[in-house]
Structure 1
Amino acid sequence: MITYIKGELTAIQDEAVAVEVQGIGYEIICPNPFVFQSLLNQEVKIYTYHHVREDAQLLYGFKNEDQKYLFKNLISVSGIGPKGALAILGGVDIPEFVSAIEREDDKFLTSFPGVGKKTARQIILDLKGKLTGMFTIGEASEQPNVSSPAVSESVDEAKEALKALGYTEKELKPITQQLQQMDGTTDELVRKGLSLLMKK
């Protein structure tokens, strides 16, 4: 099992990053590859999960051990594969997510991409009581808050990605409020941001 990879971040793609270690380039699939944007061409340490199946060996990467731990638990849930787990991690506030599981909050869990009522119930059935020892859970509001930490982080990451594409802070300022009112992962917000900028 590959616990983490430490090397030079050489490329960032829509779904993955490339890290070179002693002349070998590793493709690592991440929930939000653009969170590493500021570290391009620098040394990074990415926590990894080595997923082996009959037709492929894939590396999934995370910015911290909390994300990796939640990913491993999510893929243990019946009906959730690595892609589904990544979609959840792309916009999750981990303590809030764990709190929702403990409260059996189906409505909150079904707000994530690919999670229907059946999957939400399965997450609660399989994970309730198993994550509280690892994470400090918080209280989630009944209604989504556009200024919640998860949303703010995704917007900030999307803005950094847009800056990397050549847009200035001055150009991004008019669309920031609109992005904060949108739901979605960092990748989705980047695409929405590009669409808004094209209309300017």
Structure 2
Amino acid sequence: MISKITGILNKAEEEDARIQVGAFEYQVLVTELVRRQIQDRVGQEISLHTLHFFEGNPVQQGRMIPRLLGFLHESDMSFFELICTVDGIGVRKAIRVIAMPVNQIADAIQRSDTKWLTTLPGIGPAMAEKIVAGLRKKVATFALAHGGLKAISGGPDTGNDKIFADVFNALMALGLGPSEARLRIDKLIASGKVPASVEEAINAVFKGS
């Protein structure tokens, strides 16, 4: 199974990217968010984390077509898999839904902001309520991952992203609310300190409080 693909971006179409790897050109479906992020990188090398799925209707003896779906960050891919667990959101709909940064979508879900969620393609009031009901307690780490380190660095996933996500969960376990936990981590990031471990980060968070 292909879990990551690296090659030259030949085209960035409305729903897919064409990536040249040696003698082969791969068609990789992408969300609107990813399309906007890569559209200016035609002719350059890019790497996408990938998911596989089959498209078609075997019940009606239709043809099952294997597809690749690509993401710039593994955390975005994990969020995609999570949102697909909501009843009524399949792969194709989820591709359209993720038209905004994942941290913003996750934050809206966490705040139960159904009005904001209805601004996403294909999401009406009823579906927004369903998303909040199903995912509100599951998206805190996603809101942190992009709202914290990546929002400042603008770079790809790093080991520090995992540390800050673990710190967030640890602070929640210690009784802090999501907003307070994010605020403390944002202050730590703004200080320029780069913790080598979760323990070091926790100590720095409380030392600066």
Q: Same fold (TM over 0.5)?
A: yes
Deviations 1:123-160 (A, max 9, x none): 11221211213431899xxxxxxxxx9xxxxxxxxxxx
- Hey, what does 2:43 align to over in structure 1? 41
Give the greater-gyration-radius structure (CA): 2
- Hey, what does 1:116 align to over in structure 2? 124
Unaligned runs of 5+ in 2: 59-63, 152-209
Q: Are the aligned partners of 2:8 and 2:43 in contact in 1 as well (CA < 8 Å)?
A: yes
Q: Distance in 1 between matches of 2:86 and 2:98?
A: 14
CA RMSD, 1 decimal: 2.3
Q: Quote how far apart the aligned CAs of 1:16 are.
A: 0.9
Q: Which structure is higher in RCO with an 8 Å CA cutoff and minimum separation 6?
A: 1
**1:25-36 → structure 2 map (5 Å cutoff):** 25-32=25-32, 33-36=35-38
**Partner residue of 1:135 out of 137, 143, 147:** 143
Q: Are the aligned partners of 1:99 and 1:137 in contact in 2 as well (CA < 8 Å)?
A: no
Q: Distance in 1 between matches of 2:37 and 2:111?
A: 30
Q: Quote how far apart the aligned CAs of 1:66 are.
A: 2.8
Instruction: Give the secondary structure class of the aligned counterpart of 2:141.
Output: coil
Q: Quote how far apart the aligned CAs of 1:77 are.
A: 1.0
The TM-score, its normalising length taken from structure 1, stands at 0.61
Unaligned runs of 5+ in 1: 140-148, 150-200
- Hey, what does 1:24 align to over in structure 2? 24
Identity over aligned residues, as a percent? Answer: 27
- Judging changes above 3 Å, is the alpha-carbon distance between structure 1 residues 6 and 129 closer, same or farther for their aligned structure 2 residues? same
Instruction: Give the secondary structure class of the aligned counterpart of 1:135.
Output: helix
- Judging changes above 3 Å, is the alpha-carbon distance between structure 1 residues 116 and 40 closer, same or farther for their aligned structure 2 residues? same
Q: Quote how far apart the aligned CAs of 1:63 are.
A: 2.1
The TM-score, its normalising length taken from structure 2, stands at 0.59
Q: Distance in 2 between matches of 1:23 and 1:95?
A: 37
- Hey, what does 1:85 align to over in structure 2? 94
* Count of matched residue pairs: 139
Q: Distance in 2 between matches of 1:96 and 1:121?
A: 17
**1:97-116 → structure 2 map (5 Å cutoff):** 97-116=105-124
